[in-house]
Chain A
Amino acid sequence: MSNQVALTGNEVMAQAMRQINPDVVAAYPITPQTAMVQLFSQFVADGKVDTEYVTVESEHSAMSATVGASAAGSRAMTATAANGLALMWEVLYIASGTRLPIVMPVVNRALSGPINIHCDHSDAMGARDSGWIQFFAENGQEAYDNAIQAVRISEHEDVRLPSIVNLDGFIISHAVENLEILADEDVEEFVGDYQADNYLLNSEDPIAVGPLDLQDFYFEHKMQQAVAASNVKDVVLEVAKEYEEISGREYGLFEEYKLDDAEVAVVALGSTTGTAKAAVDNLREQGVKAGLLKIRLYRPFPAEEIANALKDLDAVAILDRADTFSTTGGPVYIDTRAALYDSDADLEVVNYVYGLGGRDIKVEEIESVFEDLQQIAETGNVEQKINYLGVRE
């Protein structure tokens, strides 16, 4: 039994948190995430959840309290955005390194400066090597579905790693969408009870968490983390299959939209993939074999599968809503190019950095990318590998 509802992205994520009913939530409000934790704290005040809500004075404390709660053996969540995520930085690594299965919605927003509160992926991309699993969503429905699945994925015994569930600031977080939420009891049953193997509040079996780990053992623990990351893909697919049974919605590592017979395609993540679908549809009507690869699981990066899905294209454009300022392109571009290096693919790969600080991306702009790709496919000539789309000269 599911319910058809009209909710904003923030509201539906608060609903997901209510249905997950974590033992502890420690969160600090920050635009554009504020409505999510505000609504959730209302659920706490109204006794709709059993959660202990810890109000904190900063995101550094929010993540620290969440780490403590998770180490104590509880199912713990928090949520943040942009500079809040940046303030959590050192504790992010402690959460993943200590193998705590925390789930955290991140409402993507540009990192200042100059000061900006609108959508881009510079916050999440900065955390891409922090050892957190990262999901991206096209809309509120997917963000909701990802949040519920993330609990199971993070807590899986082969994984035990924290997850960031990304949703685009304002575009998803503040827009009202027609979506389906599952029945409370279905979510309750799906996420089940969390039982940590070893935890601080187990007085029968006392342990130490977070001790000094020097030259003789640290490397082994990082190796365990690398192994856990390599297990994520399989677990994501396994959990997706189970989730489909209760939701009717299908999920994979990424979505291939009209990619099967495509000659040119774009790779993107987040809400832009909805815009890109409209561009693909328009071009298909004009007889252009256009397609889209929408990344859902960004960390760990499903390199082999993505390379395989792209290998028969003539040209592909990677859309990045963040720059690395490395002069070698945006993060998704760098990952995708690296993935393609080892495949037998023979295609041109170009990069478009777009939408920084919430700059709108239009269907026509993505169509213009496809025009560039067709040109590249015809001539085999790439004028510029790294492009900035929608910026004034």
Chain B
Amino acid sequence: MVKPGDGYKDIPKGGLILEAGNAKNYKTGGWRTKKPILDKETCINCHRCWAFCPDSSVLSEDGDVKAEIDYDHCKGCGICAHECPVNAIEMEKE
């Protein structure tokens, strides 16, 4: 995301990224055309979606998959919905 101070005079040379682990600052949620909706009622907490999500956007806390997906980074690829053994995730048009 371009912010003030991102002119050619100030940004690191040669496309280097000087801050480690900053991929999370790149919000890929805008790429999405379909949005995964996770139904906690149906979910059996197997964590398949969590393991398969290529963007680490399925969140888990204290061993529980959360109903809230990280929509800032979820690209809407649908892998989670495809992998869910009980069809607890539905892809809804944005």
Complex alpha-carbon distance, A211 and B17, angstroms: 8
Quick one: which of B1-34 are within 8 Å of A by CB? 1-2, 6-8, 11-18, 20
Known: A216-B2, A217-B6, A220-B6. A207 touches B11 (CB 8 A): no
* Nearest B residue to A216, CB-CB: B2
Contacts between chains A and B (CB distance < 8 A), count = 52
Minimum Cβ distance to chain B for residue A14 (Å): 30
Contacts of A1 in B (CB 8 A): none
Contact A221 B13 (CB under 8 A): yes
Contact B8 A198 (CB under 8 A): no
Interface size class of B (residues with CB under 8 A): 10 to 19
B13 in complex: contacting residue of A205, A216, A224, CB < 8 Å: A224
B8 in complex: contacting residue of A160, A208, A211, A223, CB < 8 Å: A223
A198 in complex: contacting residue of B6, B11, B12, CB < 8 Å: B12
Name the segment of A54-62, A94-102, A301-309 touching the other chain.
A94-102
Complex alpha-carbon distance, A206 and B19, angstroms: 7
Contact A99 B2 (CB under 8 A): no
Complex alpha-carbon distance, A213 and B2, angstroms: 12
Flag whether A227 is at the interface (Cβ < 8 A): yes
Quick one: which of A348-378 are within 8 Å of B by CB? none
Additional A-B contact list (16), CB under 8 Å, known A207-B18, A213-B15, A224-B8: A98-B14, A98-B15, A99-B13, A99-B14, A160-B13, A198-B16, A206-B20, A207-B16, A207-B17, A209-B14, A210-B15, A216-B2, A217-B2, A221-B15, A224-B13, A227-B8
